Structure 1
Amino acid sequence: QRRVPANATEPGHSRRCEKAGGAMRRAAKPMVSKPADTHTRARSAHPAYPPRFQLDAAHVPWRVPLSAYAPVEFVHPAVVANDCTSKPGGWADPVEPVRADILKRGSFEYDKLGLTVAFDEAGRPLNPVGRTGITNRGLLGKWGANHAADPIVTRRNPFKSGSPLEVVVIQRKDTGEWAIPGGMVDAGELVSATLRREFMEEAGNVPSEQRAKFEEMTKALFKASNAREVYRGYVDDPRNTDNAWMETVAMHFHCQPDLAKMLELRAGDDAAEVQWLEVGEHVEQYRKLYANHRVRVCCPV
């Protein structure tokens, strides 16, 4: 049986208010949080976001009182425009969170803690790690966990001395940073299908005459026997907010020598560039990978 965190607003749960900047606002009781050092990018700037309320690491956890906390309320217009209740095929949740939908979707990170998703007293889900300085959803379509899948594709470079280990990375169009390919898991879609689809979309923009060969190679690469899950959980992402956050399943796929020689990469519409990147702290682009992608690349090495 799952435990419910102290700040979950269940029927009969006591409520309290605290003053912040002269205004009365609802305050949730403390909950268990991960160490704040796993939550740095989620407090950083994003080009599409307003400035966040500034937090030091000590005040990230919900269990630490912060009466002066006055986060910025922000939801991107693109999210509002894609409300699934008003736009056919819309990819975003309704303006107001629906608790049943959020609980059904679940959270990898809350599952690790053995907890149900916690909500504040306004009925909004709470980031399992802690405060971010921004409330609402920002650029994320879902209240609570937004689930993605990331394929970590590696090879030993057959064309370089020593055959260094390399990983496929794409350059994001929104921030310009290098990252592992990946994307949101569509409703009802298998993670295995998402992994291959995202790799094809972001790294497989090959000419039509080479398409069949590329698809054959990626089918061999992404077969189930070649897959190894290396991470499932929270992503320290600059799009995260107090009420919406990224979680992912990262799967490792290693190219065999013959495939490593043949697999050519071309950036798709969702990426500015794509490349094989050498894995190692001596490589600046590797050290600066988007969000906590570097940690996940380290897993399969």
Structure 2
Amino acid sequence: MLTTATPVRHAPVDHPGVPVPAALRSWSTPWPGYSPLDITPPELREPGLADPAGWITDPVATPNQVTDWNTRLSTALVPYRLDAAGWPLNPTGRTGRCGRNLGSWGENAAADPIVIAGTGTDRRVLLIRRSDNGRWAIPGGMVDPGENAPTALVRELREETGVDLAHISPRILTRGYVHDWRATDHAWVCSTAALYELPEVVPATAADDATDAAWWPWHGDVQDLADLLASHGGLYPAHRPLLEAL
């Protein structure tokens, strides 16, 4: 039977958690002494607290208070299950961290539009600088309740860069789990990444939760891009696999 360990101590949201040996990562492997660190921030530890930023989708302190698990499980990008206590289990296995630092328990659906402009040596990729860690990333964010991924792709791009590509049909690159720094045993991110191709760059201005937006040289090699960005804040690690899908 799958079980979820009871959190015993809190840690900062960026704490890496307790080490998880590869042999014990799977939920199907018993680990009686497993004691992950709870990285839930104070504003999410109790229900009904103020949410001025509007990012808390589940205003409940524990996932067994969520009432629509059947719908969430049936529409998940990556299948997962609940343990005997009604807590969602990360589909990649134990992470060494529990609780959540995301708006929802379980899968948090995201949309990541990758915009490439130009041809040959003039090709550019549109990136934004994240406000939470200063790294350069693909514009994007969480899918709002009741919203689908295609709509979220257009909305997030417009909100973070001012670029409106509602008139262009993108090519879906990937739909799957993202190794996001906020992931825990009970909350994680899965994303729909899509490619938009433009003949030339268009004006982009940072907004929403982006502190900067810029077109960076793109020659088809993610490592080259990472090296270029190393002295400018770095490339957001969770988005590297999405760029590698190009």
TM-score between both structures, scaled by the size of structure 2: 0.80
| One-letter amino acid of the structure 1 residue matched with residue 241 of structure 2 | V
Query: Are the counterparts in 1 of residues 43 and 49 from structure 2 also a CA contact under 8 Å?
Result: no
Assess if the C-alpha contact under 8 Å between 1:92 and 1:141 holds in 2: yes
State the 1:75 CA deviation: 1.5
Q: Tell me what 2:217 maps to.
A: 278
Query: For 1:60-71, what aligned pairs fall within 5 Å after superposition?
Result: 60-71=25-36
Distance change >3 Å, CA 229–CA 286, structure 1 → 2: farther
Structure 2 counterparts to residues 22-33 of structure 1, below 5 A: none
Decide whether the 8 Å contact of 1:75 with 1:136 is kept in 2.
Answer: yes
Aligned counterparts of 1:184 and 1:53: Cα–Cα separation in 2: 27
Bigger drift between 87-96 and 141-150 goes to: 87-96
**AA matched with 1:265:** A
What CA deviation, in whole Å up to 9, does each residue of 1:21-76 have, x standing for no partner? Answer: xxxx58xxxxxxxxxxxxxxxxxxx9733451122444322233434321012311
Query: Number of aligned pairs?
Result: 230
Query: Paired residue for 1:184, among 142, 155, 159?
Result: 142
Alpha-carbon shift at residue 242 of structure 1 (Å): 0.1
In structure 2, give the amino acid aligned to 1:150.
D
> 1:9-48 alignment to 2 at 5 Å?
48=13
Whether 1:103 and 2:42 are equivalent positions in the alignment is: no
- Amino acid corresponding to residue 207 of structure 2 in structure 1: G
Per the alignment, do residues 57 and 166 of structure 1 end up closer, same or farther by CA in structure 2, a change over 3 Å counting?
farther
Query: Cα offset for 1:135?
Result: 0.9
Is 1:165 equivalent to 2:113 in the alignment?
no
Structure 2 counterpart of 1:33: none
Please, which runs of 5 or more residues in structure 1 have no aligned partner?
A: 1-5, 8-15, 18-24, 27-45, 111-116, 205-213
Is residue 78 of structure 1 aligned with residue 21 of structure 2?
no
The one-letter code matched in structure 1 to 2:18 is F
Is 1:290 paired with 2:236? yes
Secondary structure of residue in 2 paired with 1:103:
helix
Q: Is the 8 A contact 2:13 2:182 kept in 1?
A: no
- Letter of the aligned partner of 1:130 in structure 2? G
Q: Any conservation in 2 of the 1:235–1:291 contact (CA below 8 Å)?
A: no
Alignment partner for residue 24 of structure 2, among 53, 59, 71? Answer: 59
Q: 1:153, 1:164 → 2: CA distance?
A: 14
1:194 to 152, 160, 164: 152
CA positional deviation for 1:130? 0.7
Percent sequence identity over matched residues? 37
Pairwise CA RMSD: 3.0
Residue matched to 1:10: none
Cα deviation digits, residues 74-117 of structure 1 (max 9, x gap): 31123357x5798797733111224541331232111xxxxxx3
Distance in 1 (CA, whole Å) between partners of 2:245 and 2:55 is 35
Give TM-score, length-normalised by structure 1. Answer: 0.67
Is residue 115–residue 197 contact of structure 2 (8 Å, CA) maintained in 1? yes
- Contact 2:13 / 2:40 at 8 angstroms: preserved in 1? no
Match status 1:149 vs 2:111: yes
Greater Cα shift, 273-282 or 147-156: 273-282
| Cα deviation digits, residues 136-183 of structure 1 (max 9, x gap) | 11x1121110111111111126xxxx4343211111111122111111
1:222 counterpart (146, 152, 166):
166
Q: Aligned in 2, Cα 1:109/1:168: closer, same or farther, shift over 3 Å?
A: same
Contact preservation (8 Å) 2:114, 2:194: yes
Large movers: runs of 4+ above 4 Å: 83-90, 285-288
Larger radius of gyration: 1
Deviation at 1:125, TM superposition (A): 0.5
